[in-house]
Structure 1
Amino acid sequence: MFLPNAKLRDVFNEPACEKNQGKDARTRKVGCSKPLTPGAAAGGCAFDGAKIALQPITDVAHVIHAPLACEGNSWDNRGAISSGSALWRTSFTTDLTELDIVMGQGERKLFKTIREISQAYAPAAIFVYSTCVTALIGDDIEAVCKHAAAKFGLPVVPINAPGFVGSKNLGNKLAGEALLDHVIGTAEPDDAGPCDINIIGEFNLSGEFWQVKPLLHRLGIRVRACIPGDARYLDIACAHRARAAMIVCSTALISLARKMEERWDIPFFEGSFYGIAATSQALRNIADLLVRKGADPALIDRTEALIAQEEALAWKKLAAYRPRLEGKRVLLNTGGVKSWSLVDALMEIGIEIVGTSVKKSTVEDKERIRQTLKEENQIFESVAPRELYAMLSQGHADMMLSGGRTQFVALKAKTPWLDINQERHNPYAGYDGMVELIRQIDLAIHNPIWSQVREPAPWDSCPAVEDELTSTTSASTTSRAPEKFAHTTAKAVGQG
């Protein structure tokens, strides 16, 4: 089934986005995402975005209703980690063939797949994703899911986000709409309390949310649902009983946070757990929202005491790194919440930011960066690899922090590089995460390999060696060429 135009307009019309509200009514209807160019690599489709936003829900079976090739991101998706079931890491597909499509067997095959999964794995729920092929041939996944849910006695949720409807970011938003329509509010918790919160847009990459959750636990704050990182289906179904919410990645799920506030009066704020100051401010904002919603006012004092204790411990650990890193220049080539939160985090230790990208960043993200960096030329939307290479090879930065796609630019420029995107292997959130981030930066910058690879090669520094190598190579080639040619000719003549 195609998505109704009304649904797409509703997703694009986001009142919580200042940039969107600055447009006139006609422009706002067009939407936020740039149109895709047919046949061009767009960096992810709507299906990809929806699956990224939902797959870390750990006890759910994720079924891709499509030919086999559509299921490309499954195991170790984005580096998210689960403390429980590993079912989410096993992806399922209906594996439609040409014969299935021609003979109209798609819906029947989907129902059979749901039945087999429910019997073999007994998941808490099954999420069914439509794709370009199944949407184009008109398979009604909503009807199949509704029938299967009644037949097998478990939630079967349709995720109607075929790839051709738009970008990966649109898929993120449509995933949030699916949770609102089919999951959140479908169950009632028996232990709701005045200090329950939701964390939205947190993916628990490399387990970094586990460095923040104990801090909240020490304050008596319970995370009712972390969406989607290390979440359980029932947690999300009961998320409407939280008293407050923090949104980590507003680019992806701000619509979900805003609509939950409208429906269930759950106030939210956008914050970050990257950096000491940002983590402390996030804890203060959470405590303040909970107190305003009826929690014990003593929570404010407990929060300040915890912040003082953790900040002192963190700064004590970081003291050894400050003289080694102060004044070092770092280039950030990332986006979203990291574009501003890491700027603050690194400047706390005395590192100089020579530039940061704001790709996929919101208006609020960009404004935070401008207030911190002051220099407009330090902020860029995107940089071509050639320009990035020139900047690094000319020594404008001592190190680059980015995702895996630009690591080879840094390595070619003989510049230290650290992965801070979703594929990273180290957790950088919270106070302990900040210490780990600085430790990794220190290890990268002071790695002796960089001084070695920057030295000229022996044949560049000593002309005599270069001449000798050149003459040896030429002589070897000359002496072998006639022999090789004679052998080839004799073989050809003999065969003739």
Structure 2
Amino acid sequence: MSSFSAKIQDVFNEPACEQNRGKDAKTRKEGCSKPLTPGAAAGGCAFDGAKIVLQPITDVAHLIHAPLACEGNSWDNRGAASSGPTLWRTSFTTDLTELDVVMGQGERKLFKAIREIKEAYGPPAIFVYPTCVTALIGDDINAVCKRAAEKFGLPVVPVNAPGFVGSKNLGNKLAGEALLDHVIGTVEPDDAGPYDINVLGEFNLSGEFWLVKPLLDRLGIRVRACIPGDARYLDIASAHRAGAAMMVCSTALINLARKMEQRWDIPFFEGSFYGITDTSEALRQISQLLVKKGADPEILGRTEALIAEQEAIAWKKLAAYRPRLEGKRVLLNTGGVKSWSVVHALMEIGIEIVGTSVKKSTVQDKERIKQILKDDNHIFEQMAPRELYAMLSEQKADIMLSGGRTQFIALKAKTPWLDINQERQHPYAGYDGMVELVRQIDLAIHNPIWRQVREPAPWDCQCAVREELPRTKKETTTLHVVQEFTGTTADDFGEC
């Protein structure tokens, strides 16, 4: 356990994080977790964060060494997509019971489960995840995995990120440590070249990386490993032979990028594939890093030619939407890299940002937003549901972009809403993804249902309709009687 504690402290002390470098020694040991608000959701545990990062490795068997309830939903995993293997969507758990815990049968049951998976599925590797229960009772996951790997002749990787050690973000980083310790560098590729790159922190949500990869293919750039989106075990195992790397979400795997640069001299930069300008800039930086590592400088010219071609196509498609969306107001309630990359992308076509959340954003993310918006008043750390509802019901925004948890606030306020988080059904990365994002915003805002739901209900207008019709003598007499009995006047009737 002492080595595990040292690992966690090492993750807390991240020198590549500017915010971390500015802390004193005592504050640095506390990590980046914020105190929880009583009654509020914690936002996921370390086990959840580790599984989110590693499960999109599609040909690996992911075994949860825990009681059944810790497994959760393995089928969807936040919308990540696979172009081939489906083993990652199969749930594997040791299903520990109270009797197993009391009698100390956890390690024996884990070894047996690894053997059964090997015989039934023959995966290239098995990842083992302990949770709070198995970590607390002291099951030696490392020893069992080492013995199973020797016995069955395949990599068995311990992912030591039980839920109680910290937040989801800490679990992301511990997953990166597991890859560094047990996977990356274990296989030597026979086809390494000067145009190989890694893409880190890209989850291929809704298959959106598939909109970017063809651009790299046209430049002759090969993605040695995309970690974790649509990844294969052998690709990650040989990722140490890439020439450069792009970090898509720094808060998740910045430790992985930094240590790969230290160990194997793989330079990296942080970029985004959201928006036309950011996509172009990402392609430029990838090419520049490869040239610095020895690639032919002619790739720089080909990159600029491809950017010019793709930008012209994208802007031509977007021109049809500009008259319909220019000046429309968007409220963005998300976080992380999307808090600034999507803001920049939307402003490129004339959409006004009335607010963006920075709840899960780094200090660097916040600085980018300030540079883009030029106004701190549109940035909020956290907005309560009541405040969101008030802002939308007062029609201060024409649409809200957020995750599924806040969609009902927008619907209650009779405001268009679009899913921008991991559960979305449409890919928004790259040039084509930007066009799709704008198309979905246009469809949502101009959907005729919003005009209908904002109109008064039919029963609120019955009096007005009846006033316009000639009353019979009986109806007039009845109205007078009601007025005298209730003390109302004629003006109280017929108003919507």
TM-score by length of 2: 0.92
The question of 1:258 aligning with 2:270 is answered no
CA separation of 1:6/1:116 partners in 2, compared to 1, >3 Å: closer, same or farther? same
Give the partner amino acid of 2:220.
Answer: G
Root-mean-square deviation (CA), in Å? 1.6
| Residue of structure 2 in register with 1:314 after alignment | 314
Match of 2:482 in 1: none
Counterpart amino acid of 2:347? M
Aligned residue in 2 for 1:214: 214
CA contact (8 A) 1:53 1:228 kept: yes
Match of 1:161, SS state, is coil
Amino acid at match of 1:452: Q
Q: Say whether the 8 Å CA contact 1:35–1:166 is kept in structure 2.
A: no
Report the equivalent of 2:54.
54
What residue number does 1:485 align with?
none
Match of 2:339 in 1: 339
1:189 corresponds in structure 2 to 189
Distance 1:364 1:238, change over 3 A: same
Query: Deviation of residue 5 (structure 1)?
Result: 2.2
Which residue does 2:471 correspond to in 1? none
Aligned to 2:123: 123
Q: Distance in 1 between matches of 2:380 and 2:52?
A: 26
Per-residue deviation, 1:466: 11
> How many Å apart are 1:38 and its aligned residue?
9.1
Render the CA deviation track for 1:324-347: whole Å, top value 9, x for unaligned.
000000000000000000011001
Establish whether residue 108 from structure 1 lines up as the match of residue 114 from structure 2.
no
Pairing 1:286-297 to 2, within 5 Å after superposition: 286-297=286-297
Q: How far apart are residue 41 of structure 1 and its match? A: 3.1
Aligned to 2:170: 170
The CA distance in 1 between the partners of 2:363 and 2:64, in whole Å, is: 34
**SS across alignment from 1:185:** coil
Contact 1:459-1:466 within 8 A present in 2 as well = no
Identify unmatched segments of 5+ residues in structure 2: 468-474, 479-496
Question: 1:377: Cα distance to partner?
Answer: 1.0
Whether the 8 Å contact between 1:460 and 1:466 is mirrored in structure 2 is no
Q: Distance in 1 between matches of 2:271 and 2:45?
A: 27
Alpha-carbon distance change, 111 to 397 in structure 1, aligned in 2, over 3 angstroms: same
CA distance in 1 between partners of 2:23 and 2:112 (Å): 47
- Give the Cα–Cα distance (whole angstroms) in 2 for the partners of residues 101 and 142 of structure 1: 18
Deviation per CA, 1:237-281, whole angstroms, max 9, x where unpaired?
000100100000111111110111111111000000000000000
8 Å CA contact 1:199–1:245 kept in 2: the answer is: yes
Rounded Cα–Cα distance in structure 2 between residues aligned with 1:147 and 1:451: 65
Instruction: Rate the CA distance shift 1:326–1:66 in 2: closer, same or farther, 3 A.
Output: same
- Paired position in structure 2 for 1:487: none
Shift in alpha-carbon separation, 1:35–1:383, aligned structure 2, 3 A: closer
SS in 1 for 2:354: strand
SS in 1 for 2:199: strand
Q: SS state of the match for residue 58, structure 2?
A: coil
Tell me the amino acid that sits aligned with residue 145 of structure 1: C
Output the CA distance in 2 between the equivalents of 1:371 and 1:464.
52
Cα 1:375–1:103, aligned 2, differ >3 Å: closer, same or farther? same
Superposition deviation, residue 464 in structure 1: 6.6
User: What residue number does 1:475 align with?
Assistant: none
For 1:226, the equivalent position in structure 2 comes to 226
Distance 1:35 1:124, change over 3 A: farther
Letter in 2 for 1:461: C
- Match of residue 431 from structure 1: 431
Aligned mates of 2:177, 2:414 — CA distance in 1: 45
8 Å CA contact 1:36–1:42 kept in 2: the answer is yes
Give the stretch that moved more between structures: 45-54 or 28-37: 28-37
Residue identity matched to 1:448: P
**What is the match of residue 483 of structure 2?**
none
Structure 2 Cα separation of the partners of residues 204 and 364 of structure 1: 23
1:478 counterpart residue number:
none
Q: Does 1:278 align with 2:278?
A: yes
Stretch moving more, 356-365 or 187-196: 356-365
| Secondary structure at the counterpart of residue 4 of structure 1 | helix
Q: Distance in 2 between matches of 1:29 and 1:466?
A: 72
The C-alpha deviation readout for 1:25-69, integer Å capped at 9, x for no partner, is 221122111245798631111000000010000000000000000
Identity %: 84
SS in 2 for 1:411: helix
- CA shift for structure 1 position 73: 2.8
Partner of 2:201: 201
State the match for 2:460 in structure 1: 460
Distance 1:73 1:243 in 2: 36
Amino acid at match of 1:338: K
Q: TM-score w.r.t. structure 1 length?
A: 0.92
Deviations 1:175-223 (CA, angstroms, capped at 9, x unpaired): 0000000000011000000010000000000000000001001000000
For residues 272 and 82 of structure 1, what CA distance do their matches in structure 2 show? 21
